Structures are given as C-alpha cells and as structure tokens.
Structure 1
Amino acid sequence: MNVFQKDSPLPAAVLWDMDGTLVDTEPYWMRAETELVASYGGVWTHDDCMLLVGSGLWNSASILQGRGVDMEADAIVQWLTDRVQEQLAEHGIPWRPGSRELLAELKDAGIPTALVTMSVKRMARQIVELIDFPAFDLIIAGDMVTNSKPHPEPYLTAAATLGVDPAHCVAIEDSTPGVTSAVAAGTITVAVPHQIDLPESAAYTRWSTLDGRTLEHVSELYRERLSRIDLDLLSEFSITTRTQ
C-alpha cells in the first residue's frame, strides 16, 4: 500500500541505484573488465576501472572497444553481464553497509521502492531474486531506457511508472553519473560515495554511509528539503508582489 499523501511526512517513493549503492558489485565489474581486456592482449588498470563507475554499459563498451576489445557493443555488454552474474551466483549478494537494513525498513513502512540501474534487466532481476524479502516494486534497467545516466530519463521513468512526482521521491546514488541523473530528474538526492568521492553540494545531500541510517533519517531529509522548496517559492512570490 502506498502510504504517501500530499502532506505526508514520508516520501512518495525511494529510488535506489544498484551497483555500488545497494550492493558492492563494482569489484565484480572491474574483474570482468580486466579479464576481457587481457583476453585481447591489453592492460586494464584500476584507474581505467574508475572511468566506468556509474556509466551506462553501452558507453562502457565503447571505451573498451577503444582499448582493443574487438567485439560488438552488445556482445561486450552480454559478456560482462554474464561474468558478473557468475560471480553473484558464486558469492551471493555483497550488500553495502546499511543498505539491506534501510531497504527492509522502507518496505515495512509501505513506501514504494524502485531499483534504477544501468545494469541490464536480467542482472537486476538476479539481484532482486536473491534478496530474502520482496524488496522492489519496480526495476528500471539500462536496457529499458534510451538514455543512460547521467541523463535524467532513468529516474523520470521510475517516478512516472510508479505514478509519483519525482520531487517527492528520494533517490540514493553513489557515483557522479548517477547523482547527476537523479538531481536532473528533480528528486531529493542522497549521495553515498563508494569507489569515487563526491563533494558536498547544495544540489544533493551527502551521507558517508548508509550504516545506521533509518526511515527517520530519510523522512527528516524529505521534510527538510520540501520545507526549503516551500520557503524558496514563498520568497519568489514575495519578491514578485513587491515589484508589481
């Protein structure tokens, strides 16, 4: 049941990034990229891996082609996804600190949730099916949108499909492309840096970790951000009326 009402103290939905935010699959992707480049005689460093964090898979495929991987983009995406799924099947879900606990509390409170990831849908489904409770109402994956992060389309699509206003959604992200996408979509964005640091910004709220974060923290952030928006609108109205 959607507990959201117009004046609700709870967000209309919480939209989760997957890799690096919900689960720590980035090392799996890095291992797969390194193996693929090495199979074509190339070298793929940690710095190279950082270039692809948070990026859409087809953009990543283009970069890998430029490093000597002689495969079609779709074949690269399939190969990388297969390799990461193999590691997931072997090792299980590598949860990020606090993510499972917060996700479970949100679901217990009846808040709709969406998984908004640039991984392909079959991998997102594998993650969701490995979770020991019904965690997500919706999946928006990289092969379900035309424009990947940092474009706002993934988050706009998630909000529209859930039937909620992005401005009443909290999005949780860990990368620059992801944060850019969520902010551009108009969500209340939480940045939780993992592989790459994210600076403080007025455009989003930075939490160093989700460990210890609860529904109350999310609700408090939601109320504070909405209050700030209301104050800004009131200020604009006051300025307009004084100049007429």
Structure 2
Amino acid sequence: MPAAYLFDMDGLLLDTERLAMTSFVDCLTPIGIAAEAAKTFFLTLVGTSVSQTDRMLAAFLGDAGQAEFIAQQWNAHFDQRLQQNVPVKATVRATLAELTAAGAQMAVVTSTKGARARHHLHQAGLLGHFKFVLGGDEVSANKPDPAPYREAAARLGFDPKRCAAFEDSDRGIMAAMAAGCHAVQIPDLRPVDQALPQLGQLLAEDLARAVALVQNRSPAIMA
C-alpha cells in the first residue's frame, strides 16, 4: 500500500474545470473573442498556476491591463457559479471516505492558491479528509516542476517514491512523475487530438479505479 496519497484538486477531486471554462468564455465573448477560440485557449491553461495563467492570458490578449481586468471578472463569474454548489467528480466522496476510514495519510497538491483551494474543498465537504492542502502560492515552484509533490511528501514525512499521486492534467502528471511518485492520470478536459504524455504513468477512468491500481501495485511502495 502507498505510504501516502497526494491529490490534485480541480478536474481531479472537484468537477470545476467545465465551470471555469464556461466562466472564461463568458468573459471573453463580450470583447470579441469567439467562444471556440476562447475554449481552445482555455485548454492550454489547465494545470497552470495563477501567475502562469496571468502571463499566458496577457500574451493571448496582447494587453496586460485588459488581461488583469478579464482575470478579475473570470474569478467573479466562477465564484458566483460555485456559491450554490461545488461539484465533485464521480467516485471521489466514497473513495476518500474509504481511505479516511482506513487511516490513510492524504494531502491535496494544487496549483490553485491555498486559501482559495481550502475554501472550495470546505464548500464541497471534502476538506476534513486531508492532513493539509498545499496551494500553488505555497510551494517553491509550480507544476510541471516536481517541487509541489516533493514538498508535500516531505511535509508528511515520506519519500515521494512511497507516495501515490493522482492528476488529471499533463502538467500535473509531469510534476508527480518527476518527483518519483507512483502516479495515475485521470484525464478530464483536454484537446481531443492531443496525445497523453508517455511518462510511464498509470491511467484510470475515475478515482476509485486509480486508487485500486496503486494499491495493487508492486511492494516497492508498501508502507
């Protein structure tokens, strides 16, 4: 069994990427950017930190001031959609409950800012499962750098090689694999013609299957 379980958040635990994309499109269409163009660009942002997103958006719009305004609007639209309900991905609630009951050591490793991530997980009723949430503003470098996973494993007191990591995005799975974790990718939103990175990661359709994969793997990750 893995010594610890490390989870991404958006698109992995929370079914929020589609809401984020809809909010993004709503903010860009009034300034003359077609919905399909906005969606295509949004997919390039999946898995990025806030600072990375800001830089990419400024380059896309060609105007840093406008990008800052759009980012503010985007956050406001997104937060409004989450006020009534923070959607959770299939099998997540039951899987986390089972792991908690078994005494598993768990943490969230997300590119979202820490305070914001903890708020969303609290709204979704999931925060209590985790020892801590490590946000994109709380690490020495952002995904795809391995630092977030290395730092989360160290905080739990384990070598990353003894940890299982779960990611939806390519940037995230690159970070987890580079850190040495036994990683499973559960693809969420991605361009239909974009192949998955060939990093030796496991693949699964949902979190329940992903956890079963790592639990049945080699004794090399036994606690």
Give the TM-score category using the shorter length. Answer: 0.7 to 0.9
Whether the 8 Å contact between 2:169 and 2:185 is mirrored in structure 1 is yes
Specify the alignment match of 2:107 in structure 1. Answer: 114
2:143 & 2:210 partners in 1: Cα distance?
27
Q: 1:14 to 1:21 in 2, by over 3 A?
A: same
Q: TM-score, normalised by structure 2?
A: 0.84
For residues 87-126 of structure 1, what are the structure 2 equivalents within 5 Å? 87-90=81-84, 92-126=85-119
Specify the alignment match of 1:236 in structure 2. Answer: none
Deviations 1:142-201 (A, max 9, x none): 111232110111111111111111111000001110000000111000111111276484
Q: TM-score, normalised by structure 1?
A: 0.77
Larger radius of gyration: 1
Shift of residue 79 of structure 1?
4.8
1:203 & 1:225 partners in 2: Cα distance?
18
For residues 64-75 of structure 1, what are the structure 2 equivalents within 5 Å? 64-68=57-61, 70-71=64-65
Deviations 1:58-85 (A, max 9, x none): 2111121123254387776555444322
Instruction: Tell me the number of residue pairs that the alignment of Structure 1 and Structure 2 aligns.
Output: 215
What SS is found at the alignment partner of 1:45?
helix
Shift of residue 225 of structure 1?
6.4
Question: Which one of 216, 219, 223 corresponds to residue 220 of structure 1?
Answer: 216
For residues 136-147 of structure 1, what are the structure 2 equivalents within 5 Å? 136-147=130-141
1:58 & 1:66 partners in 2: Cα distance?
13
Q: 1:225 to 1:38 in 2, by over 3 A?
A: farther
For residues 145-224 of structure 1, what are the structure 2 equivalents within 5 Å? 145-196=139-190, 199=196, 201=198, 203-210=200-207, 212-213=208-209, 216-221=212-217, 224=218
Question: Which one of 27, 44, 50 corresponds to residue 43 of structure 2?
Answer: 50
Give the number of the structure with larger relative contact order, counting CA–CA contacts within 8 Å between residues 6 or more apart: 2
What SS is found at the alignment partner of 2:133?
strand
Question: Which one of 5, 30, 49 corresponds to residue 14 of structure 1?
Answer: 5
Which stretches in structure 2 are left out of the alignment for 5+ residues?
Answer: none
Whether the 8 Å contact between 2:88 and 2:124 is mirrored in structure 1 is no
Which stretches in structure 1 are left out of the alignment for 5+ residues?
Answer: 1-9, 228-244
Whether the 8 Å contact between 1:13 and 1:168 is mirrored in structure 2 is yes
What SS is found at the alignment partner of 2:95?
helix
